[in-house]
Structure 1
């Protein structure tokens, strides 16, 4: 790996985490196309490399949220209960079944685009009512699904759960720490699973350690800065940011899925 690639990874992790940490989304969701298209990390090694980014970058935002007393809570425990077994299942699917990414990208775009538009409309028109909060079994089931997706693609389930829960009225001050906590815990489990599978399977399965660590170092700093900014941003601005991120991700997946 060249020093230019390492610097690109560090800066990408830094900038993406500053933007995404305030709304509980892991920067890995936007780092994935950077690793594939710019840094040319092969598949499936890009998935554990992205999970390694989450492991290194996660504590930056979590430490800041812990200082604010908002790190633990029932929502975080509920999300972990679903995403933790899901990420292990996703890693197994990725290595042994290797599903094509096209279908996932199109489905994810179909989910994220209307959610992003709803969040933006909700932020720009504060009088719009929130939808009814999701029941705990529904949140648990969704967590299992997005945990599996995170294990397959290494994107962090918060990128999907965040817009859904925010659209159902969950405050960002509660949602962001819970989503990032679940992403961190499941990424540790996912990276460990890929490490074990790399010892027993052929192919480029192990993460690219140097690149993952450099991206994560940037994310560690960026996540701390982003979490520090969150209390200074109004709820409407945070919802607008999350909605814009969801729309951008949906458009990106739609273009890639149709290409």
Structure 2
């Protein structure tokens, strides 16, 4: 690898870390960069997953207050995303390649729609509850069984494919809880970190990463993840919501 290529990989890691901690689409930048530099897709995927683990760590450190405020939900996210990532990696190894290629872009677009209309859905749920029970719906600070199931499914998707998994987690937590979006963003970053760690450990066993590339990505993503968290914490809710929607649409179009 030349000095210029090393600088490009380092910059891609920095940008991917920022994207991971803000809108949750880190691989849209880093993975194509590695492929463009001549790495085979599988090697690029493995190296990319390992290189983004420090970015997740940096992001979680940046969101440490939000993760702490989430309380028990943060622990649930760690468990369900770890289990989901294991199942997703098993699907990746056991199913023929390309099984979900046709539906993934539409799945991401659907979750973008959910993120965009989440405030309306939340209001509708509250009005429906008040009409049925004659009392206001209490603030949802815990994950219901249905929300836990959907979070696990998102973890499976993250372990299998990953592109847009952050957008999906924002949709699941935004609709299934009443947490502030800054806390949802912190939990989304936590979920991506857990998924990358689990998938990375599995990939190390079944594939051969380019450790020099992974190391450069890791250095860049560590800084980028922390910087992205500082940016994400200050984004107004509306700006964050529509930034996630825009990032998800770009991801879906690129996959199409």
Band of TM-score, shorter chain: 0.7 to 0.9
1:27-38 equivalent positions in 2, closer than 5 A? 27-36=26-35, 38=36
Counterpart selection for 1:165 from 173, 181, 197: 173
2:112 corresponds to which residue? 116
Q: Deviations over 1:62-102 (max 9, x none)?
A: 11212x353453332222222212222332333343422xx
Q: How many residue pairs are counted as aligned between the two chains?
A: 238
Q: Which has the larger radius of gyration?
A: 2
Q: Output aligned runs, 1:67-82, within 5 Å.
A: 68-71=65-68, 73-82=71-80
Change in CA separation of 1:178 and 1:121 when aligned onto 2, cut-off 3 Å: closer
Partner of 2:157: 149
Task: Extract unaligned runs of 5+ from structure 1.
Answer: 198-204, 255-259
Q: Cα RMSD between the aligned structures? A: 2.8
1:88 aligns with 2:96: no
5 Å-filtered alignment, 1:99-138, equals 99-100=97-98, 103-117=99-113, 119-120=115-116, 128-130=120-122, 132=125, 136-138=144-146
CA spacing shift, 1:97–1:119, aligned 2, 3 Å: closer
Q: Does 1:253 align with 2:227?
A: no
Moved more, 134-143 or 216-225: 134-143
Please, which moves more after superposition, 232-241 or 111-120? Answer: 111-120
Do the aligned partners of 1:149 and 1:157 also contact (CA within 8 Å) in 2? Answer: yes
Name 1:39's counterpart in structure 2. 37
The Cα offsets for residues 201-243 of structure 1, whole Å up to 9 and x where unpaired, read as xxxx122211122122211111111111223221111101111
Cα 1:192–1:59 change in 2 (3 A) is: same
- Could you list the runs of 5+ residues in structure 2 that have no partner in the other structure? 126-139
Instruction: Please state whether the residue corresponding to 2:40 is helix, strand or coil.
Output: coil
What residue is the counterpart of 1:21 in the other structure?
Answer: 21
Taking the aligned partners of 1:119 and 1:62, their CA distance within structure 2 comes to 22
Distance 1:53 1:224, change over 3 A: same
Task: Give the TM-score normalised by the residue count of structure 1.
Answer: 0.78
* Alignment match, 1:175: 184
Partner of residue 221 from structure 1, selected from 201, 220, 223: 223
The residue that corresponds to 1:235 in the other structure is: 237
- Contact between 1:55 and 1:216, CA under 8 Å: does it hold in 2? yes
Query: Is 2:81–2:151's contact at 8 Å kept on the other side of the alignment?
Result: yes
SS in 2 for 1:106: coil
